[in-house]
Amino acid sequence: MTKDFSKFQHIIDDFKGQVSSSDFEARFAEATKALNQTERFLLKMEIKRLATPCTRLIDLRGHVNGVCRPYEEEGRVHYIDDIAIKLFEANVAMYGGYTFGVYEALMNTENNFRVMYQNEKANPQQASAAPSSLNNSKVFEKTQYPAKLYQYGPYFDRKEERMNFAIPIHINIKGDKSAEAVSSDLSVDGCKFRFNKAQELHLNQIINIRFTGLEEEFQFKNEDHYEYEIRNIQQVEKHQFVGVRRVYKTDESRDGLRKFLIGYIQGNKRRYKVNLDNTIAALQSRSFEHFTVPKSNELPIFLHEENGEILPKYALTCHNNQSIYQYWQDERGTSTLHCLVTPERVARIKRAQKSGQALYVYSFIHQSQGKSYFYTADNIQLNEDKDFMANFLGFASHKSDFTITQLTGLDVNPSFSHSPLTLSNILATKDQYLNLLPPEDIQKNIEKLTYLVVANEISDLATLKQYKKLSPENINTAKLKNYGHKRLKQGLVVDDVGINYKNQRTEPRFCYKTPVIVESGGVKWLGKSEDFSASGLKLHLDKPSVLNNGEIVNMSFPNLQKITSAFDLKGLPYEVIRINKKKNILNLRVYVAKHKHIGRSFFKALIEKNKEKLTRDEYAMMSPELGKALRNIYSRSLVTPSLVIQTSGSRYKIEVITCNSEHEKLIDYCAQLSDRSRLYNLYPLLNNLQATTLMHSTLKKIKPGDFPIVDVLYIAIKTDKDFVDQAVTTKLDSELKTHAMKKQFIHSALKEGSFLCVQVKLSRTDRPDMEYLNPELSYISGYAIHRGKQLEQEIWSVAGVVQLLDITQEAMIRYQLLPVEKPVEA
């Protein structure tokens, strides 16, 4: 009994969808009269099986060479590509519904990786002979890897909700000039509409609008035209979109149209749908930001001016950049970042920044009598003495602590410190803290910051091995001393501020136990504090209470009262913000009704005077609000691009690139190579099969807590070629096994076009912090649940991040500095 029906495929195709027809039996008997009874019976059962209704969901993500998207059919959502969609619709029409025949046809499309592999095995000669079919050329000669660029902030908030609402309106532009338009969305004080033909308009121009499509809903009385000011103009393909804001001649609270729109929008926004574009765009960028920034491999160093000298003040740290921060510490654990970022070097960084270049610092640590002495020299310093440059690098590279650090400069914009959600007017009370401005003391500290230097360690093993080819002998010790840094008697204080999205504390807390008395409704409870901050505390009661969240209690601190007479620490009002099930562990915050809170003033003074004595809690070296503010400044200024890796079925996809500069050299090349506007072609990064295979296999093995995997790509771009695959050549560092091969690759690339050297650092991402993303996600889901689910799926699909660092400049230094070894003659 055979189950292989391939030799009867022509019969199966002839009877697709005809099982229920009246003449099926007669026609089938005629078509199969040459078959024996067993074959005829099995074939009829197979045809009937293919016509049986099917309920299976189809998910081709990661199984086909195509972009899969949701496709809804009778309440079922399949994930299929364009080829499968056409095949699905054709087969459903043939079978009269979704059957097993339709399901199996989609599971065996010509662009299915399994089918292609089977065809390749069956016809090895045909597979190796450069196939000419369109689908095979897409598989083996793919030249487009489209990705969308996401920038971090600003995330624009709207003062009002906009309702998608298309009605005809009449626009009076200048005097007698008028035009018809159609609204696209409407708010209480604003409107957006489109012209099919572009009009001569300019920003801040006053126009008159007549809402002809609302005349049945609203009685306009004497006034039928309303003044609006043009706020933005966009040209999208053939349409001109204009955003306007209402101009009121009298008190807006008495305006009839405004009152009408308030009620009309509130009553109809679920019918016409709220315009969610700005919130969706903000959530997408914010979600990628909270994946990539904590996996940053570069160390942002914020500088301030002290006694007329520019010095490091804050270092923004995370797991991946801890090695850089710890390298620049002496044997006492004191920061020596002032040796890396000297005032003179800052001036050189600023000059390099103007020309789009970086500064490279070569350093090593000399240990003597248990003390650490740092030696540093940057490429501009060494260029002044070419002979000593080779001697210094040869001597330094043979030291165990030799490293190369790339320094780039960024301007500090204090306004970037605040990154509010797009829902400031409709946030729930519990989420209002997310939109608070940084505290005044934090804002003052940020205003004193003068510059941001980003440090990247680029000395991978292959690079260090190359530098060791230089001789460590003949170093001029007199000149070497000029590059040594004096040890400071008292180290400069550089605060280590952690990158953290999950921490919601607005102030640092300190562990401290002292007796407390809690009073509410005439009942008193005794207990002890666990920790405190200026605005709150955590305490443990001796006996369970009957308190609930939101209740106001009066706190007294008997032992603390003994050490101060300047503050009255009895009966201070605090609000219960969290309480455990046993009701004996409370989290409290100050409750201010009218005047300043005495408890806050006391604890602030206590912290200020006893910083060195008090023990911090697990967030020891982190001021959360300061960390949040510095993180926002850094992410808004970020110029190092990253690729976001997402799961797609059983495979990975890379369709997202993040960077705040569209003109970064690598980004610019990807834009030039793209065949679609607003998308970037990642061909220079992803065309090397060995590199992408290694990246995917490595990602499956590493964990979120592991250190990043580092590799280097050498990219040559020929400017005289029209086809992408002919213009771009990408090699892994391991493919160019010798320095001579690297030098030849660089030489050829520069001769025929451009050369790029990119260091890639792959990290596994942590689980998403949905509490951080939920306010905006919930708002979107409230009006478009399908869109909310799709966004949530995209968030959970993120598996890894690849940070891309352009080290072309340093590769060129090696290219020009290191000699090529002559082959040994036999």
pLDDT-based confidence at residue 430 (cuts at 50, 70, 90):
low
Size of the chain in residues: 826
Query: Tokens 């930001």 correspond to what residue?
Result: 289
Q: Which pLDDT score is estimated for 621?
A: 44
pLDDT tens digit sequence for 370-409: 889 999 999 999 998 888 999 999 999 999 899 999 999 9
Q: Which pLDDT score is estimated for 135?
A: 38
Which tokens go with 282? Answer: 């903000």
- Mean pLDDT is highest, among 80-89, 417-426, 490-499, for 80-89
Distance CA(455)–CA(337), nearest Å, equals 10
Q: Are 208 and 226 in contact (CB under 8 A)?
A: yes
Q: How far is CA 452 from CA 299, 328, 414, in A?
A: 10, 17, 12
Mean pLDDT of the chain: 85
Q: Which amino acid is at 337?
A: L
pLDDT-based confidence at residue 169 (cuts at 50, 70, 90):
very high
Looking at the predicted structure, is the pLDDT value of residue 222 above 70?
no
Share above pLDDT 90 across residues of the chain, in percent, rounded to a whole number: 40
Residue 439: phi and psi, rounded to 5, are -55, 155
Q: Which pLDDT score is estimated for 131?
A: 37
Q: Are 274 and 162 in contact (CB under 8 A)?
A: yes
Q: Which pLDDT score is estimated for 632?
A: 93
Average pLDDT over residues 139-156: 79
pLDDT tens digit sequence for 718-729: 988 888 989 999
Distance CA(349)–CA(303), nearest Å, equals 13
The larger pLDDT score, comparing residue 385 to residue 158, is at 385
Q: Which pLDDT score is estimated for 342?
A: 94
pLDDT-based confidence at residue 4 (cuts at 50, 70, 90):
low
Share above pLDDT 70 across residues of the chain, in percent, rounded to a whole number: 91
The larger pLDDT score, comparing residue 750 to residue 36, is at 750
DSSP code of residue 678: T
For residue 786, what is the enclosing H or E element?
helix 785-796
Q: How far is CA 148 from CA 302, 656, 677, in A?
A: 30, 5, 10
Average pLDDT over residues 451-478: 91
Q: Which pLDDT score is estimated for 132?
A: 35
Q: Are 662 and 149 in contact (CB under 8 A)?
A: yes
pLDDT tens digit sequence for 320-359: 998 899 899 888 778 899 999 999 999 999 999 888 899 9
pLDDT-based confidence at residue 643 (cuts at 50, 70, 90):
very high
Which bin fits 356, alpha (ψ -120 to 50), beta or left (φ > 0)? left
Distance CA(8)–CA(307), nearest Å, equals 90
Residue 291 DSSP SS3: helix
Looking at the predicted structure, is the pLDDT value of residue 1 above 70?
no
How crowded is residue 85: how many other Cβ atoms within 10 Å of its Cβ?
16
pLDDT-based confidence at residue 706 (cuts at 50, 70, 90):
confident
Question: By mean pLDDT, which of 62-76, 409-423, 623-637 is the weakest?
Answer: 62-76
Looking at the predicted structure, is the pLDDT value of residue 525 above 80?
yes
Cis omega before residue 154 (within 30°)?
A: yes
Which tokens go with 664? Answer: 């970064």
Q: Which pLDDT score is estimated for 138?
A: 38
Q: Which pLDDT score is estimated for 484?
A: 94
Which bin fits 431, alpha (ψ -120 to 50), beta or left (φ > 0)? alpha
Q: Which pLDDT score is estimated for 663?
A: 80
DSSP code of residue 141: S
pTM for this structure? Answer: 0.69
pLDDT tens digit sequence for 592-626: 865 678 888 898 888 888 877 777 664 444 567 88
Which tokens go with 781? Answer: 């889901």
Looking at the predicted structure, is the pLDDT value of residue 732 above 90?
yes
Q: Which pLDDT score is estimated for 146?
A: 92
Question: By mean pLDDT, which of 57-66, 322-331, 537-546, 570-579 is the weakest?
Answer: 57-66
Nearest alpha-carbon partner for 184 in 229, 234, 241: 241
Distance CA(635)–CA(637), nearest Å, equals 5
Distance CA(437)–CA(414), nearest Å, equals 12
- Mean pLDDT is highest, among 141-145, 200-204, 299-303, 583-587, for 299-303
